[in-house]
Amino acid sequence: MNLSLDAPGSAVDGMGVPHTGTTIIAIAFDGGIVIGCDSRVSIGNYISNRASDKVTPLCENVFLARSGSAPDTQLVSDYVRHMVHQHSIEMDGMPEVKTVANLCMQLVYNNKGMNHGHGLSAAMICAGWDKRRGGQVFGLPIGGSMVEVPWAIDGSGSTYIWGVMDAEYKDGMTRAECEDLCIKALTLAMSSDSSSGGLVRLTTVTEEGAVRRLVTCEQMQPYCEELDVRGLRNGGGGVMV
């Protein structure tokens, strides 16, 4: 995720190619969803924050994973959170996940003229649980489209994990299996993508509510010849995240 609209690659480069600078993921299971992200924020080639939280609550039962330009995605989440709050008061209950995802999509689609005609640099995933349809995942790629899927990935690191997700996702996976797959996929992406890194943040949403989990580098499986720091804490030399 890029912090500044003026940073190289924060919205689009000279060739008009968008950069999303992160890795986000969500998987639906019977009874809920798991949504996760890495924690690296950069300004061009400079890492400005290595422990950020890119999974934003829009209400008690729906969360938004954000990649792209941090200002753009934060603006979308702030507006949608306000609208969902008003909607919840009128409905006297939790909103449906599809309703919240549609609000995110409409904001992106209706602002295609922003950023000098490039539109909002916002590639997001909206996921949550509601009483009517259970756990749901909606992909919200750059441009303002919306599609419901059993799992979704986005961001620059997602390029490296499509094969893993295609091979290892199976219908009927349990909550624990989905959480483990999210951690594995995010760790693999962070191993290969220089714009992804830091920690793994997971949020699991079910009928009982949302449970958040933090996976540190000491708990991650090294995949691409990284320094294995599992079991180490406060050691010498430090670890680049």
Could you list the active site residues?
A: 22
d(CA 72, CA 94): 26
Q: Tell me whether strands 151-154 and 24-29 are parallel, antiparallel or unpaired.
A: antiparallel
Output 181-186 pairs: Cβ under 8 A, ≥24 positions apart. 181/27, 182/25, 182/27, 182/34, 182/35, 182/36, 183/36, 183/215, 183/220, 184/221, 185/23, 185/25, 185/153, 185/161, 186/23, 186/25, 186/36, 186/37, 186/38, 186/157
How many distinct helices (H) and strands (E) make up the chain? Answer: 4, 12
